[in-house]
């Protein structure tokens, strides 16, 4: 069981919850603040004054006063009317992460819900009742309304859920799990559907998987450097200290450590007629380092957002106040930044693939890295695949945050587009994993062609992990399984672990 501390839960805990399927609950110390805020909402609901979200309509209908005897019906109707999501269902681990983020937001004690609402989410997580969340329908303000409504619908016994490996009506899932449906009180429906937790969960998964690929790129670039017998002189620490960017310094340091002791590198320190390597080899610390810095910046933003209160209105010392924390612009910016980092990491890796298969540039490696070119095409089309995926990622990296369209009768006249900005990161991660997997395959061939010279011990361990799932390419064969296996090795972090790389976000 993972205990979430509202306002102070680190990304590492959220990644464990997402990857390992841990249940989660709020720290019990959060309960007094939650119940104090609830008491203030209850007092407002019993009063005569109109308070948005408590006894009024929503959005453009905020001026409509709702009688106190209809406030429960108001919240129930809100949930059902907002279940307008479309498209494929969100992956279950990401939905569970979204639910945990909603717990963190409610746990700050500014949303005005009963502790029973918190407990309902905790129990669903513990017993494996996972709402089916359509992935499309949010514009990232006023919060992720449609996706979160599908979550809330299951909490009240409506909608759809997955339980025990089967998809079923939400009410049936609750019944089979031994959970009673929740009857919502004043403001509780709005507190559940208003917020950025859908967009933030998707952005976090892009960050978590994207960081693994940044780490893998350090390993594959070192293998490629040895494959083409590149120089390690551009990794000298003085070069990177003089520029001063943390990511660049870190990448160069890790590359030096991975390549230390390479017999291939030592073999051409003297007498090499080449003066400089192409940029895709020489400038890897500068390019990947810049991407690393972007990922770290995005991580800071997303950690803050994961711990934030993003519904509306909020219960503050000044009263129940309507604001705009539901606007997901910070998440949209973070998603766009991650997309840029992923695209550029793939762009420079693809150029290294192209370098290795080209006999005019690879320093005497055979064409397309096959022992018998002509009869065999080797990794010719694997390189083309990386070019296709690189180009696709370039298009996907175009910003989403600069788009906006008015909604809800112009009441919500500027929106963030954070939801699909974050959702596209999954596709980009998949593409980049293949690019780096193919780079690993090409680099392995190249390094093995340098025998009897050998690469460094850490890189030999990485090669051994690769060769356990993809044997050397001695003659043409059906390559799709090799590419998939190499991409999986990259995406799961197995290649990085084999090399012993310790490079943290």
- Known catalytic residue: 279? no
Helix (H), strand (E) at residue 24? strand 24-26
Of these residues, 4, 26, 52, 440, which one is catalytic? 52
Instruction: Name the residue among 272, 270, 286, 273 with its Cα closest to residue 234.
Output: 286
In the structure encoding, which two tokens stand for residue 213, read together? 């690929």
Torsion of CA 429, 435, 440, 441, to 10 degrees: 130
Question: Are the beta carbons of 295 and 335 closer than 8 angstroms?
Answer: no
Angle formed at CA 45 by CA 407 and CA 324, multiple of 5 degrees: 30
What does the alpha-carbon distance between residue 30 and residue 105 come to, in Å, rounded to a whole number?
11
**β-sheet bridge partners, residue 407:** 412
Instruction: Name the residue among 46, 349, 360, 407 with its Cα closest to residue 220.
Output: 349
| Cβ-based neighbours of 348, under 8 Å, separated by 6 or more | 279, 280, 283, 284, 287, 288
In the structure encoding, which two tokens stand for residue 74, read together? 């108001």
In the structure encoding, which two tokens stand for residue 266, read together? 């030592």
Instruction: Name the residue among 492, 396, 432, 423 with its Cα closest to residue 91.
Output: 423
**Which sequence positions are flagged as catalytic?**
52
């Amino acid at each position: 069981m993972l205990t979430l501390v509202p306002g102070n839960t680190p990304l590492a805990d959220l990644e464990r919850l997402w990857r390992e399927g841990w249940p989660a609950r709020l720290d019990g110390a959060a309960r007094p603040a939650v119940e104090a805020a609830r008491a203030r909402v209850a007092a407002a609901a019993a009063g005569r004054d109109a308070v948005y979200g408590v006894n009024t309509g929503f959005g453009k209908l905020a001026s409509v006063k709702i009688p106190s005897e209809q406030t429960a019906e108001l919240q129930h109707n809100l949930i059902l009317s907002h279940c307008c999501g479309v498209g494929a269902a969100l992956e279950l681990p990401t939905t569970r992460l979204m639910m945990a983020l909603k717990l963190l937001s409610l746990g700050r004690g500014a949303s005005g819900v009963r502790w029973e609402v918190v407990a309902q989410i905790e129990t669903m997580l513990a017993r494996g009742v996972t709402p089916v969340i359509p992935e499309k329908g949010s514009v990232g303000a006023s919060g992720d309304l449609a996706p979160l409504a599908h979550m809330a619908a299951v909490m009240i016994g409506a909608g759809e859920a997955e339980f025990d490996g089967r998809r079923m009506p939400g009410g049936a899932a609750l019944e089979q799990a031994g959970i009673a449906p929740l009857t919502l009180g004043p403001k509780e429906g709005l507190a559940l559907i208003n917020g950025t937790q859908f967009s933030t969960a998707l952005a976090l998964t892009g960050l978590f998987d994207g960081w693994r690929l940044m780490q893998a790129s350090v390993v594959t670039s070192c293998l490629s450097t040895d494959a083409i017998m590149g120089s390690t002189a551009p990794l000298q620490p003085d070069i990177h200290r003089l520029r001063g960017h943390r990511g660049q310094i870190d990448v160069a340091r890790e590359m030096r450590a991975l390549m230390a002791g390479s017999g291939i590198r030592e073999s051409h320190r003297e007498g090499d007629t080449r003066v400089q390597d192409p940029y895709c080899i020489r400038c890897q610390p500068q390019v990947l380092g810049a991407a690393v810095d972007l990922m770290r910046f995005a991580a800071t933003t997303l950690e803050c957002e994961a711990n934030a209160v993003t519904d509306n209105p909020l219960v503050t010392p000044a009263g129940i106040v309507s604001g705009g924390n539901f606007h997901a612009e910070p998440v949209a910016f973070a998603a766009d930044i991650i997309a840029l980092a992923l695209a550029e990491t793939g762009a420079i890796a693809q150029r290294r693939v192209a370098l290795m298969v080209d006999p005019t540039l690879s320093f005497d490696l055979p064409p397309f890295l096959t022992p018998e070119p002509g009869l065999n095409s080797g990794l010719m089309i694997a390189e083309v695949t990386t070019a296709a995926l690189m180009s696709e990622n370039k298009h996907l990296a175009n910003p989403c945050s600069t788009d906006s369209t008015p909604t809800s009768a112009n009441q919500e006249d500027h929106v963030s587009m954070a939801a699909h900005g974050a959702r596209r990161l999954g596709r980009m991660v998949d593409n980049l994993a293949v690019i780096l997997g193919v780079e690993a395959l090409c680099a392995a061939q190249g390094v093995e062609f340098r025998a009897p010279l050998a690469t460094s011990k850490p890189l030999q361990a990485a090669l051994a992990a690769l060769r356990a799932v993809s044997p050397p390419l001695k003659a043409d064969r059906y390559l799709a399984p090799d590419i998939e296996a190499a991409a999986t090795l990259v995406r799961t972090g197995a290649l990085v672990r084999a090399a012993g790389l310790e490079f943290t976000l």
